[in-house]
Amino acid sequence: MTSDNNIMVILSSPSGVGKTTLTKKIQQKYQSFKISVSYTTRPPRSNEVNGVDYHFVKKAEFEELIKENKFYEYAKIFENYYGTLKTNVDETLKKNDIIFDIDWQGTKQLSKFENLKLIKIFLITENKEEIKKRLKNRNQNTDSELEKRYNSFDEEIKYWNDYDYILINKNLDVCFKQIENIILNNKKNFSTFFQKSA
């Protein structure tokens, strides 16, 4: 497979919709997919591994990388920086498809690179209360973090127009199947398109 056929799938959603689980499920099933490992200044959670879930860095290091123009995109979310390093993406794309778990700000920035073959998917729950339940069950945030994440729902859904697909994650298996169909269809379309225009 040449890099011309490789695609980039963005999954965005308000916090607590199940994006990380779905991202991991795709990578487990499709060996061709690598998850883009972001840089962040957020402290690791107890179950997170440096270099696997994120590259955890200090604020000064992150700001240096911004200054050196090393990111395809970055954003400040809940008072921490998150960003996608250009070299990581470029290297991965040579051999693999990539899946990004990034927010709407990053999606906007990546969309400006016209050479990138992006498929943009926005996930939501069937209602806002469901988010609160899932965030609580996840038990990864303090009460004030939880409140901030819950309150960001209204802000984030304002940007769903920027996406190619909106999916409701009511049932994880159904939602996964929908994502699979989107990926398989687009992979077909992208390779046809690039063969024709070559």
What residues line the site for ligand 5GP (CB under 6 A)?
A: 15, 38, 42, 73, 75, 77, 82-84, 101-103, 105-106
Q: How far is the CB of 130 from ligand 5GP (least distance, A)?
A: 17
Nearer CB in complex with ligand 5GP: 162/191 = 162
Q: How far is the CB of 81 from ligand 5GP (least distance, A)?
A: 9
Name the closest residue to ligand 5GP (Cβ).
106
Can you tell me which residue has the tokens 């400006």? 112
Kindly state the tokens that stand for 196.
Answer: 């024709």
β pairing state of 55-56 and 39-40: parallel
Nearest to 179 by CA among 161, 164, 193, 159: 164
Q: How far is the CB of 192 from ligand 5GP (least distance, A)?
A: 30
What is the distance between the alpha carbons of residues 7 and 153, in angstroms, rounded to a whole number? 28
Name residues whose C-beta falls within 8 Å of residue 158's C-beta, 6 or more positions apart in sequence. Answer: none
Q: How far is the CB of 87 from ligand 5GP (least distance, A)?
A: 14
Nearer CB in complex with ligand 5GP: 30/56 = 56
